[in-house]
Amino acid sequence: MDIIFLSEVKVETHLGVPEWERLTAQTIILDIEIAMPHSSSCQTDEIDDTIDYGVVVSRIRQTLSERSFKLVEALAEHVCQLIMQEFGAPWVKIKVAKPGILPGLKALGVVIERRKSTNPT
């Protein structure tokens, strides 16, 4: 399996359990691994044969600027589903970190992994 990784992607979003915390955008950090649906780009050297990571990052930034989440878990699930549905990735792993949210804590967050289910016909 070929995997694209995006490390320490900084994104502005509205996130937090208390409503007041979601009033102002805050920076979160994403580490994302995306499985390629096929490996033909290794032979063709063509952007059309891969998942364009620039487009992925732009789409994530767009959707997270438009949405509000209470939990990092829900945000991570949203991003995973977006990547699988819109970009055809068969598997996604994402780490969402919310930095500096508590005193003496560098960051908190979650890591989730999702795989497209294959339905036998």
Active site residues: 98
> Are 30 and 79 spatial neighbours (Cβ–Cβ below 8 Å)?
yes
d(CA 39, CA 1) in angstroms, rounded, equals 8
Tokens of residue 73, six digits = 């878990």
Strand partners, 114: 92
> Are 12 and 25 spatial neighbours (Cβ–Cβ below 8 Å)?
yes
